Amino acid sequence: MHKLTQEILEQTITKRANATHKGDYGRILIIGGTEQYGGAVIMNALAAVNSGSGLVTVATHPSNFTALHSHLPEAMVTDYTQDLTAFITKADVVLIGSGLGEQLAILTATLNSVRSDQILILDGSALTLLAEHQLDLPDARIVLTPHEMEWQRLSQIEIAEQTPAKNLAALATFKPSPILVLKKYQTEIYTADQVFQLTIGGPYQATGGMGDTLAGMIAGFSGQFRTSLEQAVLAAVYAHSAIADDLARERYVVLPTQISAEIPKLMHDYANKKLTNL
């Protein structure tokens, strides 16, 4: 198992070229947020925008529009019960599932619409629905972000039995081969043949919305740092907990929204190689 270090941030986060525009930094479509779980997509979007995404659209229940806009006027919105094909076509990255609840039809329509060159991140309720309805993954560049219980539902491996060997064997049955971010204390990231371990982060992160924030960061990083999807995912996972550790030096708990607020500073420091605080 390879231990992740801050080198992944040094390698991934680069200075921006001057002659660029929002179209160069990722068009992200976030789909989720029932009436009950609007906070999940707000936290996805806060993380994606603060990670530097060029354009973020949130497809959600209309009751979430006002709250989303008051937190984040940078994001665009659309009603997730309407046909999303045109939005999916335009996206570089589609993130679906945070707070999606039981909206199976929205998930299946999305799985049927994504193209093979697009990045598809499946989180939260999308993972539970995939497992419950035994849905196939589409031909796309897929990232799965389950916590241990969601991975148990998907892989049929009990939490206590989730060893790297068993996880890799289960992952090999998924086609096309996804990147797996198995979230827990010391999160593990599985690619087709390698396993990486996060050795930073801690229980001050055990707050609802922490995973929604990570999913938004993965969307933001993968839409922007396009040379390697694997590298972008690893960097987002490391950055999320590096910020939490930094904040936890003076806090008992770290809130997901506090992590999002610190992302631009961390990215600035790594792009400029000013690593004094981390």
Ligand X SMILES: NC(=O)C1=CN([C@@H]2O[C@H](COP(=O)(O)OP(=O)(O)OC[C@H]3O[C@@H](n4cnc5c(N)ncnc54)[C@H](O)[C@@H]3O)[C@@H](O)[C@H]2O)[C@@H](O)CC1
Ligand Y SMILES: Nc1ncnc2c1ncn2[C@@H]1O[C@H](COP(=O)(O)OP(=O)(O)O)[C@@H](O)[C@H]1O
Name the binding residues for AMP: 183-187, 211
Partner that binds at residue 99, options Mg ion, ligand Y, ligand X, none, CB closer than 5 to 8 Å by kind: ligand X
Among ligand Y, ligand X, Mg ion, none, what binds residue 205 when CB lies within 5 to 8 Å by partner kind?
ligand Y
Q: Which residues bind ligand Y (CB under 6 A)?
A: 124, 147, 183-185, 187, 201-203, 205-206, 208-212, 214
Query: End-to-end CA distance of the chain, in Å?
Result: 23
- Which of 52, 211, 223, 256: binder of Mg ion (CB under 5 A)? 211
**CB of residue 41 to Mg ion, shortest distance in Å:** 12
The Cα 55–Cα 75 span in angstroms is 7
By CB under 5 A, residue 124 contacts Mg ion: yes
The partner in contact with residue 125, picked from ligand Y, ligand X, Mg ion, none with C-beta cut-offs of 5 to 8 angstroms by kind, is ligand X
Q: Which residue is nearest to Mg ion (CB)?
A: 211
The sign of the CA dihedral 183, 95, 79, 127 is: negative
Instruction: State the Cα–Cα distance between residues 44 and 64, nearest whole angstrom.
Output: 13
Q: Site for ligand X (CB under 6 A): which residue of 25, 37, 87, 238?
A: 37
Neighbours of 29 (CB within 10 A): 26
Whole-number minimum distance, CB 33 to ligand X, in Å?
Answer: 7
Task: Kindly state whether residue 149 participates in binding ligand X, applying the rule CB under 6 A.
Answer: yes
8-state DSSP, 207: S
When asked if residue 146 is in the footprint of Mg ion (CB under 5 A), the reply is: no
Token pair, residue 161, equals 């039995």
Among 12, 53, 110, 125, binds ligand X (CB under 6 A): 125
Distance CA(99)–CA(101), nearest Å, equals 5
Q: Which of 25, 29, 39, 60 binds ligand X (CB under 6 A)?
A: 39
DSSP secondary structure, 20-88, as one string: --GGGS-EEEEE---STTHHHHHHHHHHHHHTT-SEEEEEE-GGGHHHHHHH-TTSEEEETTS--HHHH
Q: How far is the CB of 108 from ligand Y (least distance, A)?
A: 22
Residues whose CB falls within 8 Å of the CB of residue 197, separated by 6 or more in sequence, listed in order:
1, 2, 3, 4, 186, 187, 188, 189
Q: Return the number of the residue (186 or 271) whose C-beta is nearest ligand Y.
A: 186
By CB under 6 A, tell whether 155 contacts ligand X.
no
* Contacts for 239 with CB less than 8 Å, ≥ 6 apart: 9, 217, 221, 263, 266, 267
Give the nearest distance from C-beta 74 to ligand X in angstroms: 20
Q: From the CB of 276, what's the least distance to ligand X, in Å? A: 32
Which stretch of DSSP H or E encloses residue 3?
strand 2-3
**What DSSP state is assigned to residue 251?**
-
Site residues (vs Mg ion, CB under 5 A): 124, 211
Site residues (vs ligand X, CB under 6 A): 37, 39-40, 98-100, 124-125, 128, 147-150, 159, 184, 208-209, 211-212
